[in-house]
Amino acid sequence: MAGLMSRHALPARHDPRSYDPEATVTLYLRHNGYQPPQRQGPQWTGTRLSTQVAVLAGRSLRAAFSDYRLVFFGLLQPIVLLLLFSQVFSALGTLPGVAEYQSYLNFLMPATMVNIALATAMSSGVGLLAEVYTGFVGRLRAMPVNLLAVLMARTVSDAVRLAVQLAVAVLAAVYLLDFQPPNAMGTIAAMLLCVVFGWGLSWIFVALATWQHKPEIMHAASFVVMFPLMFSSSAYMPVNSMPGWLQAVSKANPVTYAIDATRALALGKPVGSALAMAVLLIAGAALLGGAISARNFRRTR
Protein backbone atom coordinates (compact mmCIF):
# COMPACT_ATOMS: atom_id res chain seq x y z
CA MET A 1 0.00 0.00 0.00
CA ALA A 2 2.89 2.35 0.74
CA GLY A 3 4.33 1.68 -2.71
CA LEU A 4 1.00 2.30 -4.30
CA MET A 5 0.62 5.57 -2.48
CA SER A 6 4.13 6.64 -3.48
CA ARG A 7 3.42 6.07 -7.16
CA HIS A 8 0.11 7.86 -7.05
CA ALA A 9 0.57 10.49 -4.42
CA LEU A 10 -2.28 12.83 -3.62
CA PRO A 11 -1.95 16.41 -4.87
CA ALA A 12 -0.34 18.84 -2.54
CA ARG A 13 -2.60 21.15 -0.57
CA HIS A 14 -1.41 24.63 -1.32
CA ASP A 15 -4.38 26.34 0.31
CA PRO A 16 -6.13 24.50 3.15
CA ARG A 17 -9.29 26.53 2.59
CA SER A 18 -9.64 25.25 -0.98
CA TYR A 19 -8.99 21.60 -0.14
CA ASP A 20 -11.92 19.30 -0.98
CA PRO A 21 -11.36 15.78 0.44
CA GLU A 22 -14.20 14.20 -1.55
CA ALA A 23 -12.99 15.60 -4.87
CA THR A 24 -9.40 14.53 -4.11
CA VAL A 25 -10.40 10.94 -3.32
CA THR A 26 -12.59 10.75 -6.43
CA LEU A 27 -9.71 11.99 -8.59
CA TYR A 28 -7.36 9.41 -7.02
CA LEU A 29 -9.78 6.52 -7.59
CA ARG A 30 -10.42 7.45 -11.22
CA HIS A 31 -6.68 7.77 -11.81
CA ASN A 32 -6.31 4.15 -10.68
CA GLY A 33 -8.97 2.81 -13.04
CA TYR A 34 -12.03 2.96 -10.81
CA GLN A 35 -15.28 3.84 -12.65
CA PRO A 36 -18.31 4.94 -10.62
CA PRO A 37 -21.51 2.98 -11.29
CA GLN A 38 -23.79 4.37 -13.99
CA ARG A 39 -27.14 5.75 -12.99
CA GLN A 40 -30.04 3.51 -13.84
CA GLY A 41 -33.24 4.72 -15.49
CA PRO A 42 -34.06 6.87 -18.51
CA GLN A 43 -32.23 10.14 -19.02
CA TRP A 44 -34.26 13.33 -19.61
CA THR A 45 -33.96 14.38 -23.26
CA GLY A 46 -36.62 17.08 -23.41
CA THR A 47 -40.32 17.18 -24.21
CA ARG A 48 -42.13 16.30 -27.41
CA LEU A 49 -42.06 18.60 -30.40
CA SER A 50 -45.75 19.46 -30.05
CA THR A 51 -45.28 20.43 -26.39
CA GLN A 52 -42.31 22.63 -27.23
CA VAL A 53 -44.27 24.35 -30.00
CA ALA A 54 -47.23 24.95 -27.67
CA VAL A 55 -45.04 26.40 -24.90
CA LEU A 56 -43.03 28.66 -27.20
CA ALA A 57 -46.12 29.80 -29.11
CA GLY A 58 -47.84 30.63 -25.83
CA ARG A 59 -44.86 32.70 -24.80
CA SER A 60 -44.97 34.66 -28.07
CA LEU A 61 -48.71 35.26 -27.74
CA ARG A 62 -48.37 36.52 -24.18
CA ALA A 63 -45.69 38.94 -25.33
CA ALA A 64 -47.84 40.10 -28.27
CA PHE A 65 -50.97 40.76 -26.19
CA SER A 66 -49.32 41.99 -22.99
CA ASP A 67 -48.99 45.59 -24.20
CA TYR A 68 -52.45 47.09 -24.76
CA ARG A 69 -51.01 49.92 -26.86
CA LEU A 70 -49.39 47.50 -29.27
CA VAL A 71 -52.63 45.51 -29.48
CA PHE A 72 -54.72 48.66 -30.05
CA PHE A 73 -52.62 50.11 -32.86
CA GLY A 74 -52.12 46.70 -34.44
CA LEU A 75 -55.88 46.23 -34.66
CA LEU A 76 -56.54 49.84 -35.66
CA GLN A 77 -54.10 50.00 -38.58
CA PRO A 78 -56.00 47.78 -41.07
CA ILE A 79 -59.29 49.53 -40.21
CA VAL A 80 -57.78 52.96 -40.93
CA LEU A 81 -56.29 51.75 -44.22
CA LEU A 82 -59.60 50.19 -45.23
CA LEU A 83 -61.46 53.41 -44.45
CA LEU A 84 -58.99 55.55 -46.41
CA PHE A 85 -58.85 53.32 -49.48
CA SER A 86 -62.62 52.79 -49.59
CA GLN A 87 -63.30 56.53 -49.47
CA VAL A 88 -60.49 57.77 -51.72
CA PHE A 89 -61.23 55.21 -54.45
CA SER A 90 -65.00 55.00 -53.97
CA ALA A 91 -65.56 56.27 -57.53
CA LEU A 92 -64.03 53.04 -58.83
CA GLY A 93 -67.18 51.23 -57.73
CA THR A 94 -68.71 51.84 -61.18
CA LEU A 95 -65.90 50.16 -63.10
CA PRO A 96 -66.59 46.87 -64.90
CA GLY A 97 -65.50 44.07 -62.61
CA VAL A 98 -66.24 46.16 -59.49
CA ALA A 99 -69.87 47.18 -59.98
CA GLU A 100 -71.04 43.58 -59.56
CA TYR A 101 -69.92 43.76 -55.91
CA GLN A 102 -72.41 46.66 -55.20
CA SER A 103 -69.69 48.91 -53.73
CA TYR A 104 -65.96 49.42 -53.82
CA LEU A 105 -65.85 48.58 -50.11
CA ASN A 106 -67.17 45.09 -50.82
CA PHE A 107 -64.54 44.70 -53.53
CA LEU A 108 -61.77 46.03 -51.28
CA MET A 109 -62.52 44.27 -47.98
CA PRO A 110 -61.40 40.75 -49.03
CA ALA A 111 -58.19 42.22 -50.45
CA THR A 112 -57.63 44.00 -47.12
CA MET A 113 -57.98 40.66 -45.34
CA VAL A 114 -55.23 39.23 -47.54
CA ASN A 115 -53.19 42.40 -46.96
CA ILE A 116 -53.45 41.86 -43.19
CA ALA A 117 -52.26 38.28 -43.68
CA LEU A 118 -49.32 39.47 -45.76
CA ALA A 119 -48.31 42.07 -43.17
CA THR A 120 -48.53 39.51 -40.36
CA ALA A 121 -46.40 37.08 -42.37
CA MET A 122 -43.78 39.79 -42.76
CA SER A 123 -43.76 40.36 -39.00
CA SER A 124 -42.90 36.67 -38.47
CA GLY A 125 -39.42 37.22 -39.84
CA VAL A 126 -38.96 40.40 -37.82
CA GLY A 127 -40.12 38.64 -34.65
CA LEU A 128 -37.68 35.77 -35.19
CA LEU A 129 -34.80 38.20 -35.62
CA ALA A 130 -35.82 39.96 -32.41
CA GLU A 131 -35.64 36.67 -30.51
CA VAL A 132 -32.20 35.99 -31.98
CA TYR A 133 -30.85 39.41 -31.01
CA THR A 134 -32.25 39.37 -27.48
CA GLY A 135 -30.40 36.10 -26.83
CA PHE A 136 -33.55 34.00 -26.37
CA VAL A 137 -32.69 31.65 -29.22
CA GLY A 138 -29.12 31.36 -27.95
CA ARG A 139 -30.40 30.16 -24.58
CA LEU A 140 -32.61 27.59 -26.28
CA ARG A 141 -29.61 26.18 -28.15
CA ALA A 142 -28.11 25.17 -24.80
CA MET A 143 -31.24 23.20 -23.88
CA PRO A 144 -32.75 19.97 -25.26
CA VAL A 145 -35.08 21.99 -27.50
CA ASN A 146 -35.74 21.10 -31.12
CA LEU A 147 -34.82 24.18 -33.13
CA LEU A 148 -37.61 23.39 -35.58
CA ALA A 149 -40.03 24.01 -32.69
CA VAL A 150 -38.77 27.60 -32.47
CA LEU A 151 -39.65 28.23 -36.12
CA MET A 152 -42.98 26.44 -35.90
CA ALA A 153 -43.97 28.29 -32.73
CA ARG A 154 -43.24 31.62 -34.40
CA THR A 155 -45.50 30.85 -37.37
CA VAL A 156 -48.25 29.30 -35.23
CA SER A 157 -48.39 32.24 -32.80
CA ASP A 158 -48.54 34.71 -35.67
CA ALA A 159 -51.34 32.70 -37.28
CA VAL A 160 -53.36 32.96 -34.04
CA ARG A 161 -52.65 36.68 -33.87
CA LEU A 162 -53.73 37.00 -37.51
CA ALA A 163 -57.04 35.28 -36.77
CA VAL A 164 -57.77 37.84 -34.04
CA GLN A 165 -56.88 40.75 -36.34
CA LEU A 166 -59.08 39.42 -39.12
CA ALA A 167 -62.05 38.94 -36.79
CA VAL A 168 -61.77 42.51 -35.48
CA ALA A 169 -61.31 43.95 -38.99
CA VAL A 170 -64.34 42.10 -40.40
CA LEU A 171 -66.59 43.08 -37.47
CA ALA A 172 -65.49 46.71 -37.76
CA ALA A 173 -66.13 46.68 -41.52
CA VAL A 174 -69.62 45.21 -41.02
CA TYR A 175 -70.78 47.44 -38.17
CA LEU A 176 -68.89 50.66 -38.94
CA LEU A 177 -68.25 50.73 -42.70
CA ASP A 178 -71.31 48.89 -44.06
CA PHE A 179 -69.51 45.88 -45.44
CA GLN A 180 -72.22 43.50 -46.64
CA PRO A 181 -71.18 39.84 -46.95
CA PRO A 182 -74.11 37.64 -48.04
CA ASN A 183 -73.62 34.99 -45.35
CA ALA A 184 -71.51 34.37 -42.29
CA MET A 185 -70.21 30.95 -43.35
CA GLY A 186 -68.63 32.33 -46.52
CA THR A 187 -66.94 35.09 -44.53
CA ILE A 188 -65.61 32.60 -41.98
CA ALA A 189 -64.28 30.41 -44.82
CA ALA A 190 -62.58 33.47 -46.33
CA MET A 191 -60.98 34.28 -42.96
CA LEU A 192 -59.71 30.70 -42.59
CA LEU A 193 -58.19 30.89 -46.06
CA CYS A 194 -56.44 34.14 -45.11
CA VAL A 195 -55.08 32.55 -41.92
CA VAL A 196 -53.70 29.61 -43.89
CA PHE A 197 -52.31 32.00 -46.51
CA GLY A 198 -50.58 34.11 -43.85
CA TRP A 199 -49.17 31.00 -42.15
CA GLY A 200 -47.77 29.61 -45.41
CA LEU A 201 -46.29 32.92 -46.48
CA SER A 202 -44.75 33.50 -43.05
CA TRP A 203 -42.34 30.64 -43.77
CA ILE A 204 -40.91 32.69 -46.66
CA PHE A 205 -40.21 35.64 -44.37
CA VAL A 206 -38.84 33.33 -41.66
CA ALA A 207 -36.49 31.92 -44.29
CA LEU A 208 -35.40 35.49 -45.12
CA ALA A 209 -34.76 36.09 -41.41
CA THR A 210 -32.52 33.02 -41.15
CA TRP A 211 -30.62 34.03 -44.28
CA GLN A 212 -29.42 37.48 -43.17
CA HIS A 213 -28.38 38.97 -39.83
CA LYS A 214 -29.55 42.60 -39.60
CA PRO A 215 -33.10 43.73 -38.79
CA GLU A 216 -32.68 46.73 -41.11
CA ILE A 217 -32.04 44.42 -44.05
CA MET A 218 -35.01 42.31 -43.02
CA HIS A 219 -37.33 45.33 -43.04
CA ALA A 220 -36.04 46.51 -46.42
CA ALA A 221 -36.27 43.07 -48.01
CA SER A 222 -39.76 42.50 -46.60
CA PHE A 223 -41.16 45.73 -48.01
CA VAL A 224 -39.52 45.06 -51.37
CA VAL A 225 -41.40 41.76 -51.44
CA MET A 226 -44.68 42.96 -49.93
CA PHE A 227 -45.58 46.07 -51.92
CA PRO A 228 -45.05 44.67 -55.43
CA LEU A 229 -47.08 41.60 -54.47
CA MET A 230 -50.03 43.70 -53.29
CA PHE A 231 -50.11 46.46 -55.91
CA SER A 232 -49.52 44.13 -58.86
CA SER A 233 -52.43 41.91 -57.81
CA SER A 234 -56.20 42.23 -58.11
CA ALA A 235 -56.41 43.89 -54.70
CA TYR A 236 -57.32 47.44 -55.70
CA MET A 237 -58.23 47.26 -59.38
CA PRO A 238 -59.72 44.58 -61.65
CA VAL A 239 -57.04 42.81 -63.62
CA ASN A 240 -58.74 43.59 -66.94
CA SER A 241 -58.41 47.33 -66.35
CA MET A 242 -54.61 47.18 -65.99
CA PRO A 243 -52.04 47.73 -68.77
CA GLY A 244 -51.18 44.61 -70.74
CA TRP A 245 -47.79 43.98 -69.15
CA LEU A 246 -49.21 44.46 -65.66
CA GLN A 247 -52.05 42.04 -66.42
CA ALA A 248 -49.45 39.38 -67.18
CA VAL A 249 -47.67 40.13 -63.90
CA SER A 250 -50.94 40.07 -61.97
CA LYS A 251 -51.98 36.71 -63.42
CA ALA A 252 -48.61 35.26 -62.35
CA ASN A 253 -48.84 36.83 -58.88
CA PRO A 254 -49.74 34.26 -56.19
CA VAL A 255 -51.46 36.97 -54.12
CA THR A 256 -53.99 37.45 -56.94
CA TYR A 257 -55.22 33.88 -56.50
CA ALA A 258 -55.52 34.33 -52.75
CA ILE A 259 -57.47 37.58 -53.18
CA ASP A 260 -59.77 36.15 -55.86
CA ALA A 261 -60.51 33.08 -53.73
CA THR A 262 -61.10 35.19 -50.60
CA ARG A 263 -63.34 37.57 -52.52
CA ALA A 264 -65.37 34.71 -53.97
CA LEU A 265 -65.81 33.00 -50.59
CA ALA A 266 -66.68 36.17 -48.69
CA LEU A 267 -69.14 37.54 -51.27
CA GLY A 268 -70.73 34.33 -52.48
CA LYS A 269 -69.23 34.33 -55.98
CA PRO A 270 -68.07 31.28 -57.96
CA VAL A 271 -64.66 30.22 -56.69
CA GLY A 272 -63.45 28.52 -59.87
CA SER A 273 -59.80 27.48 -59.92
CA ALA A 274 -58.62 30.35 -57.69
CA LEU A 275 -59.05 28.40 -54.45
CA ALA A 276 -57.15 25.34 -55.69
CA MET A 277 -54.32 27.52 -57.03
CA ALA A 278 -54.17 29.50 -53.80
CA VAL A 279 -53.93 26.35 -51.65
CA LEU A 280 -51.30 24.86 -53.96
CA LEU A 281 -49.17 28.02 -53.83
CA ILE A 282 -49.56 28.24 -50.05
CA ALA A 283 -48.34 24.65 -49.66
CA GLY A 284 -45.40 25.32 -51.97
CA ALA A 285 -44.43 28.47 -50.06
CA ALA A 286 -44.62 26.66 -46.71
CA LEU A 287 -42.52 23.71 -47.91
CA LEU A 288 -39.89 25.87 -49.59
CA GLY A 289 -39.63 28.38 -46.76
CA GLY A 290 -39.65 25.66 -44.12
CA ALA A 291 -36.84 23.71 -45.79
CA ILE A 292 -34.65 26.79 -46.24
CA SER A 293 -35.27 28.16 -42.74
CA ALA A 294 -34.67 24.78 -41.07
CA ARG A 295 -31.36 24.38 -42.91
CA ASN A 296 -30.18 27.91 -42.13
CA PHE A 297 -31.37 27.93 -38.53
CA ARG A 298 -29.29 24.91 -37.56
CA ARG A 299 -26.15 26.90 -38.22
CA THR A 300 -24.53 28.55 -35.23
CA ARG A 301 -25.46 32.23 -35.08
**Mean of the per-residue pLDDT values of the chain:** 81
Distance CA 260, CA 257 (A): 5
Phi and psi torsions of 234, nearest 5°? -90, 25
With cut-offs at 50, 70 and 90, classify the pLDDT of residue 6: very low
Taking 60 as the threshold, does the pLDDT of residue 1 lie above it?
no
Q: What is the pLDDT of residues 245-273, one digit of tens each?
A: 888 888 888 899 999 999 999 988 888 88
pTM comes to 0.79
- Supply the pLDDT for residue 80: 85
Domain boundary assignment for the chain: 49-297
With cut-offs at 50, 70 and 90, classify the pLDDT of residue 300: low
Look at residues 219, 242, 206 and name the one whose alpha carbon lies nearest to residue 95. 242
Q: What is the pLDDT of residues 206-246, one digit of tens each?
A: 988 888 777 777 777 777 778 888 888 888 888 888 888 88
Taking 80 as the threshold, does the pLDDT of residue 299 lie above it?
no
Q: What is the pLDDT of residues 152-171, one digit of tens each?
A: 999 999 999 999 999 999 99
Q: What is the dihedral of CA 141, 143, 49, 149, to 10 degrees?
A: -20
Name which residue leads in pLDDT, 99 or 44. 99
Q: What is the pLDDT of residues 180-203, one digit of tens each?
A: 888 889 999 999 999 999 999 999
- Supply the pLDDT for residue 159: 94
Q: What percent of the chain is predicted at pLDDT more than 90?
A: 23
- Supply the pLDDT for residue 156: 93
Q: What is the pLDDT averaged over residues 281-288?
A: 92
